[in-house]
Structure formats: C-alpha cells, structure tokens
Amino acid sequence: MSETGKKSLVVFQDKTIRRTLHNDEWYFAVVDVVAVLTDSVNPTDYIKKIRRRDPILAQGWGQIVTPLSIETAGGVQKVNCANVKGLFRIIQSIPSPKAEPFKQWLAQVGYDRVLEIENPELAQERMKELYEQKGYPKDWIDKRLRGIAIRQNLTDEWKARGITDERDFAILTAEISKATFGMTPSAYKIYKGLNSPNQNLRDHMTDLELIFTMLGERVTTELSKQEKPTSMPGHKSVAQRGGRVAGNARKETEKELGHSIISEENHLSNDELPGIGEGEDK
C-alpha cells in the first residue's frame, strides 16, 4: 500500500477504521466505526436499523454523513464517512454495551464544558493539562496560553470592527506573520515540516517565536483600538504595521544573538494528540 494509503487507516482495538481528509478535517468510514462498536456481522444492515430506530438521525443523515473516496488495500472506494461530531451523533443511537463508554465520555465532556463556561479558568487549566500530557515544558506552556489570550483579544477586536469572514481573519493573520517573520503561516508550517491540517503552527514554535508572535498581535490590537479601521484595507495596514514592530524587534534580537530565531524546530514527537489552540493558523 502507498504511504497515502497507510495514512488513510487508523487502528482502534486492533481493528482498522478507514479515514480520509476532507475540508481539512478527518472523516471516518461510518461502517467501520459501527463494526468496531457492535461486532455486527453485517454493519451495513445495522446502520439501516439504527436509522429506522432513530427518525431524527435518519432525517439529518445527509448532513451528518458524506460519501467520500478512500484509498485502502483494496483500492479507492466510495464510502459513507462522518467527522468526529457526526460520529458522536451516530454513536448516541447505538445500544451496544461497547458504545456505552463513548456515551458516558460525551456526557462528561458536555458537563465539563458547562463548568468551563461558568468559570473560564477551568478551561485554561484543562488546556494546560493537555499540553503537559503532550510533553511540553511548563515555561513554554505559560507563553503558549498567554499567546492564546492575546490572540483572542485580537480576534475580538477584529469582530468589533466588522471582520466576520474566516478568510478575512486568515488574510490579516498572514499580514502580521509576513511582517513579523517574513512568511505566512502556511509557508511557516512548510518550513517546519508540518504537513497535517491538524498541526497547529504555534504548538511547534520556540519560546522566542511565540514571544514575537504575541508582540505582533498585541501591537496590532492596540493600533486597531486607537485607529478604529472600518475597511479591509484599513485593517490590513494596521496588521502590517503591528507585525512590522515585531519584525524589527526580531531583527534586532537576531543581530544581538548572532543567529536567526526563525527555527525549523517542531514537536512532531508530541503530535499524536490533535492540535491544541485557537485556530489561528491560516
């Protein structure tokens, strides 16, 4: 099987589940997941029974499930697939005892999220624990969490000034990154050898890279608050200037240190868990 084919498979409880990337997100073969959770001799027929038992699921089936081509050992096949959110909805309709741990986990996740809404500090503690589980040092985690807060302040400022389209967020983020590091986030990911859409660029930055990222975004936020731009050209100008402040500081730092702080270093050895962050890499 080709390398792409191998990446199209994931092993769960010694059983193979086919998957494919679609719209920068993993989609999994529904029939494979049902087979794992039910041990049914005919998982396709089992899915039909699930839909008959759950009319609401059946009614929204077209929004939950997407037919996608998946490369496996037997070649490329068209298979009904769902993302993680869709799979969770399907699992809720599976009465098999093997599915019960997933249902309990979903209930706990929902409860935790309610608590985090009431007390945002809990969300920060959860994120810190996830980074610790991935093996990041505590001083790096502190910078990363501070960077997330600064990023959130910036996106809130953009939204307050009329920026709502994800593409516009990506364009403005790219302008800050280019002015700070001379690269857009997508080019930076390539530079660091990051190929998966689930790999968050900032989760692979060094301390200094995080610091200058924060500086560019914080200055951009302050400039936007002062100047209150109302058009995309105005926002781009502010983003470029905010990034330029960080870029000049980076160059001065590099002159003193005698080497570039733009690093190919990454944390791919810690990349088994999904990327953590605020979705800022565009």
> How confident is the model over 166-177, as a mean pLDDT?
96
pLDDT digits (tens, 9 = 90+) for 197-222: 768 899 999 999 999 999 999 999 99
Please list the residues that pair with 81 across neighbouring strands: 29, 66
pLDDT digits (tens, 9 = 90+) for 1-20: 344 444 454 445 556 788 88
- The predicted pLDDT at position 275 comes to 47
pLDDT digits (tens, 9 = 90+) for 75-114: 787 899 998 888 889 988 888 787 777 667 666 766 666 6
Residue from 147, 157, 149, 178 nearest 221 by CA: 157
Q: Report d(CA 17, CA 58) in Å as an integer.
A: 23
Give the pTM: 0.63
User: Who's near 19: CB < 8 A, 6+ residues apart?
Assistant: 8, 9, 10, 26, 27, 28, 29, 70, 81
